[in-house]
Amino acid sequence: LSVALSGTVLSRCPACARNFANIYCNNICSPDQSLFTNVTRVVNHTTAQGQPEFAVVEYQCFYQQDFAD
């Protein structure tokens, strides 16, 4: 859903939309997240089932130059 919404905003630039989707998917789905992501802020959150858990609300990503290019 988030990628679809960004696609609407970035529709005037297909390359920008594609680049954003690539970075978003890499951040969310990569099995190697721990190698390039540093969680900087979490909050307590209660699930719909009433279970307490942590939610990440802020993080830093570190990419190699070849990925950024």
Question: Strand pairing partners for 38?
Answer: 60
Q: Residue 44: what pLDDT?
A: 94
Cα separation, 56 vs 54, whole angstroms: 7
Cα separation, 60 vs 5, whole angstroms: 22
Q: How far is CA 13 from the centre of its chain?
A: 20
* Domain residue ranges in the chain: 3-67
Which of helix, strand or coil describes residue 69? coil
Ordered per-residue pLDDT tens for the chain, 69 residues = 566 777 677 888 888 888 888 888 888 888 998 999 999 999 998 999 999 999 999 999 898 888 777
- Is the full-model pTM beyond 0.75? no
